[in-house]
Each structure stands twice: as C-alpha cells, then as structure tokens.
Structure 1
C-alpha cells in the first residue's frame, strides 16, 4: 500500500512530461473576397492516403468550383451524380451531402485546402495562428508548425488554379491531385 502513492506520483510525472497532442491543422475562415479574383473551374480530384497501408486511393471526383467576392461554391460529381454541394460566404458553411459520400469527407477541410492552394500568401499568413508559417520553397507552398512541415502544395502552373497541383498533407495523412481548367 505504501508504494501506491509513489506509483501514482511517477505516473503523473510521466504524463506531465509527455508532449500535448499537436492540433491537426489551423482552421481558416478567409472571406471569398480576400482571394482578389473570380474563378470558375472544372476540376478532377484524386485523393488517397500518404501511407498505402492506410487504404486505397479514392476514385476520381469531378468538381465545379466557383468563387466570387460573395461566395465560394463547389459541386462534386461522381459517376454523373452530384454527391456534394457546398457554399462558403466567409462566415457560414452550408452543404448538402449524398449518402454515397464517405463520412471522412469534411467540408471545412475542403474549403481550407482550396484557400491554402489558391489564396494570396499575405491573406493566408495573416489568418494563421501563432507558431504556424506559410512560405514558398522551390515553387511550392509549404505550411509549417514550429518549423515542422505539415502541408505542401506543388503547382505546375501560375496561377495555380490553371493547371495541375499536388497537395500533400503530412499532418492529416492524405495526398490530393488536382487538375484544373477554366469552366466553359
């Protein structure tokens, strides 16, 4: 019985020394107007886990993305059926989901990734919490927390929304391939 308090104290000391869990990624809430451009794009997305042991890549998804000063609108189509519609006005996110859409698809993450890929760096940097930085390295956007790379976006065109981009999210464990073209 005398050793029980020592064991509890030792466990508390070990728990206090453990690093707190790192937040996945910073939430962004940038207004559509802060993009500074209007876009109307047809996109083909392919997503998959970073580690092949974590599952298979998803089938490609066709997306129509429109952004103007008032709203970001996105419609996702799979096999000709609309499976996701979302809109973001800078304050509220509204979406309609098909039951066919996997539960792992997070609409807020989609908006965040679009913003990280396309918004101007100064607007993004101003929205990042302490400890987070966003820079350009060899033509890629790199988001870091306390120096550790969390996300990388490599684009083959300038501006990025006019061609092929690869988004690698190390923190949340997925890879996204994006092919974009102006919507006719």
Structure 2
C-alpha cells in the first residue's frame, strides 16, 4: 500500500476508534468506567461496523471501522480492522487491559476510552450506577441511557433494535462525537 495512503487511512482510523478521545480543556471528560466482564451478565459475540463523526464536523462523512467483539464472564476481546488489516486488538479481564496496536495507529487512539464506551453501551445500568463518581447520574430505560454530570447531559445512548442485533447511537456531548454501532450476532 502507498505510504501516503496508509498514513491517511490510519489517521482516519484514529478518529473512528477514539471518537475524538481528548476531552475539551474546560471539561474533565467522562468517567473511565471499566467494569469486569463477569458483570456483563451474558456472553457477546458480535460483528460490528462503527461509524464515527465529530460533532463539530457533522456534515463530513463518518469514519468507518469493522470490529469483532466477544465477551464472556472471564474476558472481553476486541479486534479492529481497516483495509483488511488488523489495526487493534484489545483484551480486558477485569484487572488488566492488554493491547496490540498496528505501528501506524496514531497515539490518539485511547483503548481506555474504547473500553469505557463499550461498558456504557453493554453493561447493566445498575452496575454502571454503582461505579459512577459523585455528581454523575445515569438514567436508563428500554430505549436507551442518559448520563448526566450534575444536571448537564453528557452522553446519550439510543438502542434501535436490540443491543446485539441492531443499531446503537451513542452521542457524547461532553467529548464531542457521535458513534453509530451496527451489530450482528456472530455465528452460524
């Protein structure tokens, strides 16, 4: 592959995987909720397409990454692909986050924020509430979740279909991005 194209693709991939991970200077960002896989309460085996847009550039086309996500009581495993190459592998056992990165994957890709977003979408609301810092509030119902910093909406998650076989729209107002997760159950 042409090195110039590779750099551009990996730059775009950085946006897609981190979804503008660096919070604005005046905001502390969302809490890094890293819940143990055992609290997920069910196995996951999903094929996903992630489409990410910065809210400040909502008219631009989204950046897209394909992901394989698996989880059971012992661990969560994620593999991210771009241009038929694996660019990121993550494994989380509730204690340690193990990561393998493609050499061209930009440093802005923050695996801790990726894990946080996964927890906010898939882990039970009650488990998330128990780990929120003081001043944060999570409201949840069958259609989605809303995370508040005091009385200010910081993040919303909208379920369209089921979490495992449908679409999830995550809107992170605090850190400035929109993430559309399109999932299908992996298997025969």
- Tell me the TM-score normalised to structure 1 length: 0.82
Q: Of the candidates 23, 29, 35, which is equivalent to residue 40 of structure 2?
A: 35
| Structure 1 residue 118: Cα displacement | 0.8
- Quote the Cα distance in structure 1 between the aligned partners of 2:38 and 2:129: 16
- Quote the Cα distance in structure 2 between the aligned partners of 1:138 and 1:64: 25
Do the aligned partners of 1:29 and 1:91 also contact (CA within 8 Å) in 2?
Answer: no
Aligned residues: 163
Q: CA RMSD in A?
A: 1.9
| Structure 1 residue 104: Cα displacement | 2.2
Do the aligned partners of 2:47 and 2:67 also contact (CA within 8 Å) in 1?
Answer: yes
Say whether residues 1:181 and 2:184 are aligned partners: yes
The equivalent of 1:48 in structure 2 is 53
- Quote the Cα distance in structure 2 between the aligned partners of 1:91 and 1:74: 16
SS of the residue corresponding to residue 51 of structure 1 reads: helix
Do the aligned partners of 2:27 and 2:174 also contact (CA within 8 Å) in 1?
Answer: no
Structure 2 gap segments, 5+ residues each: 1-24
C-alpha change, 1:26 and 1:57, in structure 2 (3 Å) is: farther
| Structure 1 residue 59: Cα displacement | 3.1
Structure 1 gap segments, 5+ residues each: 1-19
- Tell me the TM-score normalised to structure 2 length: 0.81
Q: Of the candidates 164, 177, 182, which is equivalent to residue 161 of structure 1?
A: 164
The equivalent of 1:60 in structure 2 is 64
Per-residue deviation, residues 114-164 of structure 1 (Å, max 9, x unmatched): 110011111010011110011126822100010111111111123x22211
Higher relative contact order, structure no. (Cα contacts within 8 Å, ≥ 6 residues apart): 2
Do the aligned partners of 1:49 and 1:57 also contact (CA within 8 Å) in 2?
Answer: no
Do the aligned partners of 1:163 and 1:179 also contact (CA within 8 Å) in 2?
Answer: yes
Q: Choose 1 or 2 for highest CA Rg.
A: 1
The equivalent of 2:97 in structure 1 is 93
